[in-house]
Amino acid sequence: MVLPVVALVGRPNVGKSTIFNRIISQRLSIVEDTPGVTRDRIYAHGEWVGKEFSIIDTGGITLDDQTLNKEITGQAEIAIEEADVVVMIVDARVGVTPEDEIVAKILYKSHKPIVLAVNKADNLDQRQDIYDFYTLGLGEPFAVSGVHGTGMGDLLDEIVKKLPAQSEEKADDSIKFSFIGRPNVGKSSLVNAILGEKRVIVSQMEGTTRDAIDTSFVNEVDGQSFTMIDTAGIRKRGKVYENTEKYSVLRAMRSIDRSDVVVMVLDGEQGIREQDKRVAGYAHEAGRGVIIAVNKWDAVIHKDQKTMQEFTDYIRKEFRYLNYAPIIFVSALKHQRLEQIVELVMTINENQKRRIQSSLLNELLLKATAIAPAPTVKNKRLRLYYLTQVATTPPTFVVFVNDPDLFHFSYERFIINQLRTTFDFTGTPIKIIARKRK
């Protein structure tokens, strides 16, 4: 399913991030609190009255060495390019500013559905003063408080009212995978090299993300079809914005959402950067299968028999939460080990869909608790009664216990490790949910 996109725009300090966090907290879903996964979000999924959407916080996108007006203009243009509905946020305490007028003028010309949110309307007087914002020409202003949550229901009602109908992707049995990573790590070179190896391109078709081209090919050995998701840049006047770090992260996140398996591409010469961690963390949280591919390995000059292991240890240290992801060292230029990528994509796709019988899971649970008895917290011992699988992609398990609060992260990690030791879940995250036995 391709979700419609909602973008939050506005000048600095109007509370975009506060409203962003308030909206995504409305989701009735389990949020995994995994150490090492960044929480600095600019893109997430939201839900209101049964309607799902993706939401962008343009407050996270900044342009270095630009004037304030250019920065605001850039944010608004990115939102227009990406979004189906744009929420313009203004400050009730400050009133209408020249910067607000700049943003409103750009949005008005876009012909996109606009919702005007007047934030920081924390008391009755401030809520009564919102009518000055009619002068922006964007329709009825909605008084909200991102901090206190007041007015958010009316705002979300208006947002979902303006959302387009959710579209379904055309059904196919291809395995979808994408290459993600910083600019210039060789993602496009890997795509071209793999297609050059296969030489059996079936078609090129417009993708469901704007400007994306999906390339399909068939494995010559077993006839399995694949779709490589390649995300292009912004259409218009985009080069200055294309180079901003957070905007490229945004593009990567949208590619991840459409993928079954994600290939995280690192530069063998330059190593790991903070942006790599952000994108990889999102792939993990989204429950996608992950491969870590170190490209340009041929260009690493000072290598010996220990270099590959040292780099592997370096990756494991920096990406602790991706300890399940296989690491391969490739060269798009020299066409080294490229066949491993497609083979691993197939393997991980199977592991994502793997189902384990409850009887086998409970045998594992008995053995695990015998190896490491459940911990005692505040004189109360955790008791584990039953383990069952409730979902795939990613494999998700429910463990019934006497008290979910006693199911500490460290013991959850122990159970996950036992699952990985017993069954092949290479390349896929595993989720465990603790529930109180009724």
CATH number of the domain where residue 395 is located? 3.30.300.20
Q: Among the three residues 301, 333, 352, which one is the final residue of a domain in this structure?
A: 352
Dihedral of CA atoms 361, 364, 370, 372 in degrees, nearest 10, equals -90
Alpha helix stretches (DSSP H) within 204-332: 239-242, 245-257, 274-285, 307-318
Same domain, 317 and 373: no
**Cut 0.85: pTM above it:** no
How many domains would you assign to the chain?
A: 3
H or E element that contains 420: helix 409-422
pLDDT value, residue 102 = 84
The reply to whether 236 and 91 lie within a common domain is no
Task: Determine, yes or no, domain membership for 149.
Answer: yes
Please report whether residue 168 resides in a domain: no
Instruction: Please check whether residue 69 lies inside any domain of the structure.
Output: yes
List the one residue out of 107, 99, 91, 97 whose CA is nearest residue 146: 91
Residue 304's φ and ψ, nearest 5 degrees, are -140, -165
The reply to whether 65 falls in a domain is yes
What integer pLDDT is reported at residue 230 of this predicted model? Answer: 64
Residue 73 CA to residue 355 CA, distance in Å, equals 49
Q: How far apart are CA 386 and CA 395, in angstroms?
A: 17
CB burial class (10 A; 0-12, 13-18, 19+) of residue 327? middle
Last residue of a domain, one of 131, 162, 193: 162
Q: Which pLDDT score is estimated for 169?
A: 57
Q: Which of 328, 340, 343 is nearest to 222 (CA)?
A: 343
Question: Do 278 and 346 share a domain, yes or no?
Answer: yes
Statement to judge: residues 369 and 348 lie in one domain: no
Smallest CA-to-CA distance from 412 within 381, 434, 393 is with: 434
Q: Which amino acid is at 386?
A: Y
Which stretches of 58-122 are assigned E, i.e. beta strand? 85-91, 114-119
Residue 170: inside a domain: no
Query: Quick one: pLDDT at residue 175?
Result: 93
Residue 412 tokens, joined? 């959850």
What are the contacts of 212-220 at 24+ separation with CB within 8 A?
212/255, 214/176, 215/191, 216/174, 219/342, 219/346
| Predicted pLDDT of residue 392 | 95
Q: Which two tokens stand for residue 88?
A: 């313009």
33 & 133 share domain: yes
Alpha-carbon distance of 86 to 66, in angstroms, equals 23
CATH number at residue 71: 3.40.50.300
State whether 296 and 371 are in the same domain.
no
To which residue do tokens 């291809």 refer?
A: 174
Binding-site positions for GTP read 10-17, 57-61, 119-122, 181-188, 230-234, 295-298
Q: Is residue 92 part of a domain?
A: yes
Same domain, 200 and 345: yes
Q: Are residues 348 and 252 in the same domain?
A: yes
Show which of 132, 162, 192 is a domain's final residue: 162
**Predicted pLDDT at 431:** 95
| Closest CA relative to residue 277, chosen from 296, 252, 312, 310 | 252
pLDDT at 12: 78
pLDDT at 100: 87
Q: Do residues 190 and 313 share a domain? A: yes
What single DSSP character describes residue 271? B
Please give the chain's pLDDT, 438 residues, in tens: 567 889 888 887 888 888 888 888 743 222 333 333 333 456 778 889 888 888 887 764 433 445 555 655 665 676 677 789 999 999 998 899 888 888 888 888 888 899 999 999 887 776 777 888 999 999 999 999 988 889 999 999 999 999 987 666 556 688 999 988 877 788 888 888 888 754 333 333 433 334 455 778 887 767 889 988 865 433 334 444 444 555 566 667 778 888 999 999 999 988 898 878 878 888 898 899 999 999 999 988 788 889 999 999 999 999 999 999 999 999 998 999 999 999 999 999 999 999 999 999 999 999 999 999 988 888 899 999 999 999 999 999 999 999 999 999 999 999 999 999 999 999 999 999 999 987
What type of residue sits at position 405?
A: D
Instruction: Identify whether residues 207 and 318 lie together within a single domain.
Output: yes
Instruction: Write the CB contacts of 333 (distance below 8 Å, at least 6 apart in sequence).
Output: 189, 193, 296, 298, 299
Domain that includes residue 148, residue range: 5-162
Residue 367's pLDDT is 95
- Does 167 fall in a domain? no
**90 lies in some domain:** yes
**pLDDT of res. 252:** 73
* Chain centroid to CA 401: 31
Query: Residue 377: what pLDDT?
Result: 82
User: Strand, coil or helix: what is 438?
Assistant: coil
CA–CA distances in Å: residue 428 to residues 323, 347, 409: 10, 10, 19
CB 312 within 8 A of CB 318: no
- Judge if 325 and 426 occupy the same domain: no
Same domain, 182 and 278: yes
> Binding site: which residues?
10-17, 57-61, 119-122, 181-188, 230-234, 295-298
